[in-house]
A = this chain, B = another copy of it.
Amino acid sequence: MQNVYLDYVATNPLHPMVLEAMMPYLKEDFGNPLSLYSFGSKAREAIENARAQVGSLINAKPNEIIFTASGAEANNFALRGIAIANQNRGKHIIVSKVEHHSILNSARFLEKSGFAVTYLPVDKHGIVEPETVKKAITKETTLISVIHASPEIGAIEPIAEISKIAKEHNIIFHTDAVASTGNIHVDVQALGVDLLSMTAHQFYGPKGAAALFVREGIRIVPLIYGGIQEGGRRAGTENVPAIVGMGKAAELARMNIDKRISYVKPLRDKLMDGLLRIDKVHLTGHPGQRLPGHASFVVEYVEGEAMLLLLASNGIYVASGSACSSKALKASPVLLSLGMPAHLAQGSIVFTLGEGTKEEEINYTIDTFQKIVTRLREISPYSKGWEGTEDAPCIAKK
């Protein structure tokens, strides 16, 4: 049986050169970076080197990089740290409806703490219209956060345009670039952002290392209090091996990004063309303005989870993208925000390609997917139409 991994958006394998860079810090160089002697200083230098590498990847200064343990932590830190630091200026923030759960749920926490939050609508391709941002701004607004690229629908948002509006109104701007950093060019100067979240395991780095870019001069309240690590802005003994790995992965991404894009995009286009030829399969997200390795669809009359499991039984590993896959048993809020009916959103499936993807794997996937959809539709009670199925199949399982 084939073994085709097309779920790079869930996580990437570790690049062998990244693991190699990490190994000394998993073995002999185990020191705590806060220690004053040589063991400690070696670890400290390794972290500062990684900080420069990560800064370089996004065109930031090393001292603008704060390491965290996950993209979710970076997003929580950004949203709550900025909202609280600026609460004397105002208590209104703006986020889009296509944000990651770590942004949406942080926003909800802020609402419970007395902040007002505006959730920006998107168009049918999942794109935030800059005009809607302008309209949402009030005198109380201190922070706008819009995702750079959606892991679920691949759409790339017009961050530079939105950040310009934020700047005109003297509002701090954050973008969640977890799915984009290392996969497309991410330049904090070109994007004009004040804060940016990223995570290493989206560009062949290790799990457990991520970062928040905080532009020099921006004040932020810590999420994790304690010692003086990360300039007092994020406490906790540094995960030295993972941070070193993130630095190396950032260096590799910076050097190879054009090559990576030009490798993965034609394969993705082939997959997209192949699957869209199947009857009643629709692309989600924007057709052009999307992550180069990302192809996402909804398939009528079929459940995402069923497709996913049948694909897996054929050795093809993908994501459903609908919240069903995360066992929450609700239609994906991102897909609903595109104006898609709930039943259609249940048929969501997401393919993401990477460095290891091969052309024959794409051919095999197109061929297999075609057969699976046909088979599922034969047995689907909904194949004659969704009428009278207000509750989508996934929800019905509760």
Listed in ascending order, the chain A residues whose CB lies under 8 Å from chain B are 5, 7, 10-14, 19, 22, 26-28, 30-32, 34-40, 69-73, 75-76, 100-102, 105-106, 108-109, 199, 201, 206-209, 223-228, 235-242, 305, 308-309, 311-312, 317, 319-320, 325-328
Contact = CB atoms under 8 A, between A and B. Distances in A.
> How many monomers of this protein are in the complex?
2
B10 A34 contact: yes
Given A36-B305, A237-B70, A102 B225 contact: yes
Nearest to A323: B228
A237 B11 contact: yes
Nearest to A13: B30
A36 B327 CA distance: 9
Contacts of A76: 223-226, 235
Given A72-B224, A73-B69, A208-B69, A32 B14 contact: no
A10 B102 CA distance: 32
A208 B240 CA distance: 8
B308 A37 contact: yes
Contact of A30 (B12, B26, B31, B75): B12
A98 to B, nearest CB: 15
A352 to B, nearest CB: 12
Contact of A37 (B206, B242, B317): B317
A206 B26 contact: yes
14 contacts: A10-B32, A10-B35, A13-B30, A34-B325, A37-B309, A69-B208, A72-B237, A73-B224, A73-B236, A101-B226, A102-B235, A105-B226, A105-B235, A208-B241
